[in-house]
Amino acid sequence: MTAGWVEHVIWWQVYPLGFVGAFPADPAPTADQHRLRRVADWLDYAVELGASGLALGPVFASQTHGYDTVDHYRIDPRLGDDADFDYLVGEAHRRGLRVLLDGVFNHVGTDFPRYREAVDGGDRSWFRVRGHEFATFEGHGGLIALNHRSAEVVDYTVDVMSHWLGRGADGWRLDAAYAVSDAFWSQVLPQVRDRHPEAWFVGEVIHGDYEARVRDSGFDSVTQYELWKAIWSSINDANFHELDWALKRHNEFLDTFVPLTFIGNHDVTRIASQLTNTDHVEHALVILLTTGGTPSVYAGDEVAYRGVKEERFGGDDAVRPEFGAPFEGVGEHGHQVFRSHQHLIGLRRRHPWLHSARTAPLAVTNTSYVYTTRCGDDALVVALNVGDEAVSLSLTDLGVQRAEVVAGSGAPPAEIVTETSVAPHGWLILAPR
DSSP sequence for 218-284: --SEEB-HHHHHHHHHHHHTT-HHHHHHHHHHHHHHHTT---EEES--TTS--HHHHSSSGGGHHHH
Instruction: Write the CA distances from 240 to 168, 269, 336, integer angstroms.
Output: 42, 21, 25
Find all residues with CB under 8 Å of 19, minimum gap 6, and list them.
38, 39, 299, 320, 322, 323
pLDDT of 413 strictly over 80 = no
Cα distance between residue 329 and residue 300, in whole Å: 11
In percent, the amount of the chain with pLDDT more than 70 equals 99
pLDDT tens digits along 311-362: 888 899 999 999 999 999 999 999 999 999 999 999 999 999 999 999 999 9
Q: CA angle, corner 39, sides to 168 and 101, nearest 5?
A: 40
pLDDT single digits (tens) 189-234: 999 999 999 999 999 999 999 999 999 999 999 999 999 999 999 9
Do the Cβ atoms of 401 and 418 come closer than 8 Å?
yes
Q: Tell me which of 98-107, 237-246, 311-320 is least confident.
A: 311-320
358-432: same fold as 6-355?
A: no
pLDDT tens digits, one per residue of 299-312:
999 999 999 999 88
Instruction: Confirm whether pTM is higher than 0.95.
Output: yes
| Domain boundaries of the chain, sorted by first residue | 6-355, 358-432
CATH 3.40.50.300 holds for 6-355: no
What's the pLDDT at 273? 98
Nearest to 380 by CA among 339, 351, 415, 414: 351
For the domain covering 358-432, report its CATH number.
Answer: 2.60.40.1180
**Number of residues in the chain:** 433
